Amino acid sequence: MIEPDGFIIHGAPVNSRESLRLRGRDEPCSTFQGGDMSNITPRTMGQQFGRRSWAEPWKIKMVEPLRMIGRPDRERALAEAGYNTFLLRSDDVYIDLLTDSGTSAMSDRQWAGMLLGDEAYAGSRNFYHLEEAVQTYYGYRYLTPTHQGRGAEHLISRALIKPGMYIPGNMYFTTTRLHQELAGGVFVDVIINEAHDPTNMHPFKGNIDLNKLADLIARVGADKIPYVSLAGTVNMAGGQPVSMANVRAVRELCDRHGIRIFLDATRMIENAFFIQEREEGYAATPIAAILKEFCSYTDGAWMSAKKDNLVNIGGWLAVNDSELFDTLRNMVVIYEGLHTYGGMAGRDMEALAIGIAESVEEDHVRSRVGQVRYLGELLTDWDIPIVQPVGGHAIFLDAKRFYPHIPQDQFPAQRLAAELYLDSGIRAMERGIASAGRDPETGDHRYPALELTRLTIPRRVYTQAHMDVVAESVKAIYDARTQTRGLKMTYEPQYLRFFQARFEPL
Ligand code: PLI
């Protein structure tokens, strides 16, 4: 079914609670029914799929025990951590939804690859495997490994941004914007307005607003724009995707002005899944092919391999321009390590090369997004306010609607994460005013439209039973929400304050 603005809503079955409950095993595949975007509701977004629910395409071979400490111990641990979930010890955490970064379970093939590490300082064979994997699946020509995503962000920002330049992007990400600012640039948000509204059901809320981008080009001049910083999916918007039509249009506009596009490919495979699911013409296209086509409209990418690529540490930076590559390859030896390891061990590069191939497998991506969606459906059924549509890597609780009585400068999303930990030992993360930091010009808090608490699902780690426990705990703190008060910040580090800030209850 084609939507008025060209989107198609259909696709392959996802592990969905609704599909289990509403359809029997042998019912035929149905497509999404409805006339326009207004027919898509939080529930129908996940209902368009076929015969029956999905199971994870793996079985468990090794387990790590979990334990929940008692309430008095959780209260003590949280106070010691200054009400910041980043400062908790993981031994004091029951279900860890702090991040999907570096927290994936590796496969038996990846672990086997770890034993094939060639720990040569220069020219490790594992580097060549990694280079080939990036060329094959992402399509870029030249590669340098980095220790993780922000290492790559540092290099690309330093290589291309000069003081006084502007970097348009589809919503900020914390480390990305900081590296752009440290290089002397000013980040300009050019994402579509819908992205700032947690209830808007636009299927591609990560899209760039072409008018905003064109206005910036007209205002500052193309020579002041080193590149467009395009992320797929958009983390801070709720894991929202960018459409193929949008990246194509951005490419056309940039070509007219000689501006480059660099992709934050951290969760681009999840983005490819949403294109397959929602965009006209892509239902039968494999995720791997969608990924490669999307990347072909960009000039290069930086990657936190700790997310999509299924490894516990690592990153990379890949470009097509040989001159730019020469600059980056020279810089990497200053900040990361020789250009054939860039801060990674040989064994880690091998696990990453294997992880890249596994991360584009259809069943893997489907069950990964399906698990996130399952949790979203549980919460939606209880009318708990979350960002809709549910994105690729996390559920984002909308703290402004959860705690409407707590002003934003009393950190409602930070408080929500703290309450969840107190209730059940589940660890989440603030993605609101604390994460947004201060405006470097005025020194004031930035007040983002989205004040969110992120329940981030690691890949291949937790089961649906864990999701049920999480949902019940969120419901418990939602039911007690009117009693909850805000926080005040008692310690504020200069950079990326959300990692290390301390708070006290008001
Ligand atoms: O954490 P790094 O340095 O490997 O990657 C930085 C980074 C870049 N881009 C995006 C979109 C990210 O999400 C990202 C890191 N994200 C973290 C740590 C997260 O918890 O979301």
- Does a structural domain hold residue 156? yes
Return the pLDDT at 378.
Answer: 97
pLDDT at residue 13, as a whole number:
39
Is the C-beta atom of 408 inside 6 A of ligand 1? Answer: no
Q: Which of 304, 309, 431 has most ligand 1 atoms within 8 Å of CB, for mutation?
A: 304
Distance 357 CA to ligand 1 centre (A): 21
pLDDT of 8 reads: 39
Residue 16 pLDDT exceeds 50 = no
Question: What pLDDT band is residue 6 in, cutting at 50, 70 and 90?
Answer: very low
Strand partners, 317: 144, 302
381 pLDDT tier (thresholds 50, 70, 90): very high
99 domain-assigned: no
Active-site choice (17, 267, 307, 427) = 307
Query: Ligand 1: does its nearest atom lie under 6 Å from the Cβ of 315?
Result: yes
- Does one domain contain both 446 and 314? no
d(CA 270, CA 63): 26
Whether 281 and 414 map to the same domain: the answer is no
178 and 327 together in one domain:
yes
Query: Three-state secondary structure along 179-231?
Result: HHHHCCCEEEECECHHHHCCCCCCCCCCCECHHHHHHHHHHHCHHHCCEEEEE
Cβ of 348 below 6 Å from ligand 1:
no
Point out the domain boundary residue: 359, 387, 413: 359
Residue from 92, 264, 299, 348 carrying the catalytic annotation: 264
Out of 5-14, 231-240, 405-414, pick the least confident: 5-14
448-to-236, 346, 431, 432, 436 alpha-carbon distances in Å? 10, 41, 9, 6, 7
Q: Burial, 183: exposed, middle or buried (Cβ in 10 Å; 0-12, 13-18, 19+)?
A: buried
- Is there a single domain that holds both residue 243 and residue 151? yes
pLDDT one-digit tens code per residue, 316-360: 999 999 999 999 999 999 999 999 999 999 999 999 999 999 999
CATH number of 287's domain: 3.40.640.10
Decide: 328 and 319 in contact? Cβ < 8 Å. yes
Across the range 463-467, mean pLDDT stands at 96
Q: Is the CB of 157 under 6 A from ligand 1?
A: no
Q: Is residue 103 part of a domain?
A: no
Lowest mean pLDDT among 3-12, 87-96, 236-245, 444-453: 3-12
- Is 252 found in the same domain as 155? yes
Residue 485 in any domain: the answer is: yes
Place 440 in a pLDDT band, splitting at 50, 70 and 90: confident
Angle at 164 between CA 159 and CA 165, to 5 degrees: 55
Angle value at C-alpha 450, between 449 and 452, nearest 5 degrees = 155
Q: Is 121 a catalytic residue?
A: yes
Task: Using the 3D structure, point to which of 343, 359, 375 is the last residue of a domain.
Answer: 359
Residues 460, 343 share a domain: no
Distance 313 CA to ligand 1 centre (A): 11
CA distances in angstroms from 497 to 77, 90, 163, 216, listed in the order given: 20, 20, 24, 29
Is the CA virtual torsion 47, 48, 53, 56 positive or negative? negative
Amino acid in the structure at residue 282: Y
Q: Could you tell me the two tokens for 97?
A: 């939804």
Q: What is the pLDDT of residue 269?
A: 98
Count of CB atoms situated within 10 Å of the CB of 192: 24
Cβ–ligand 1 contact at 148 (below 6 Å): yes
Note whether 89 and 221 are same-domain residues.
no
Give per-residue pLDDT as tens, 25-36.
Answer: 333 333 333 334
Whether 402 is a known active-site residue: answer no
DSSP for 251-279 reads HHHHHHHT-EEEEE-TTHHHHHHHHHHHB
Nearest CA to ligand 1 atom 6: 149
Domain that holds residue 275: 108-359
Candidates 71, 121, 439, 446; catalytic one:
121
> Has residue 448 been placed in a domain?
yes
State how far the Cα of 489 lies from the Cα of 132, in Å rounded to an integer.
Answer: 47
Residue 61 maps to a domain: no
Residue the block writes with tokens 């920002």: 157
DSSP state of 502: E
pLDDT score recorded for residue 50 = 56
Q: Per the structure, how many domains does the chain have?
A: 3
Same domain, 28 and 117: no
Same domain? For 347 and 204 the reply is: yes
Which has the closest alpha carbon to 168: 216, 236, 221, 237?
A: 216
pLDDT value at residue 36:
45
Give 477-492 pLDDT, tens digit per residue: 999 999 999 999 999 9
Torsion of CA 292, 294, 296, 297, to 10 degrees: 180
- Whether 326 and 438 map to the same domain: the answer is no
Query: For the segment 383-426, what is each residue's pLDDT rounded down to a tens digit?
Result: 999 999 999 999 999 999 999 999 999 999 999 999 999 999 99
In this predicted structure, what is the pLDDT of residue 41? 52
Q: How many helices (H) and strands (E) does the chain have?
A: 17, 12
Verify whether residue 498 is a known catalytic residue: yes
The residue whose C-alpha atom lies closest to atom 1 belonging to ligand 1 is 149
Convert the pLDDT of each residue in 262-308 to its tens digit.
999 999 999 999 999 999 999 999 999 999 999 999 999 999 999 99
CB within 8 Å of 5: residues ≥ 6 apart = 37
Residue 100 lies in a domain: no
Alpha carbon nearest to ligand 1 atom 20, residue: 99
For residue 306, give the ligand 1 atom closest to its CA. Answer: 4
List, in order, residues 6 or more apart from 480 with CB less than 8 Å away. 419
Percent of the chain having pLDDT more than 70? 90
Tokens in use for 208? 């760039």
pLDDT at 191 > cutoff 90: yes
Mean pLDDT of the chain: 92
Q: Which residues of 232-256 are buried (b: 16+ CB within 10 A; e: fewer)?
A: bbbbbbbbbbbbbbbbebbbebbee
Verify that 387 and 307 share a domain, yes or no: no
Task: Please tell me the residue having the least CA distance from ligand 1 atom 4.
Answer: 149
Structure tokens at 438: 């201060």
pLDDT, residue 25, reads: 30
Last residue of a domain, one of 359, 387, 412: 359
User: Which residue type is seen at 103?
Assistant: T
CA 212 – CA 226 distance, rounded (Å) = 17
Q: How far apart are CA 497 and CA 481, in angstroms?
A: 26
Residue from 99, 174, 266, 453 carrying the catalytic annotation: 174
Confirm whether 118 is domain-assigned: yes
Q: Are residues 134 and 219 in the same domain?
A: yes
CA distances to 120, 123, 127, 149, 347 from 117, rounded to whole Å, are 9, 12, 10, 21, 4
107 lines ligand 1 (CB under 6 A): no
Q: CATH code at 457?
A: 3.90.1150.10
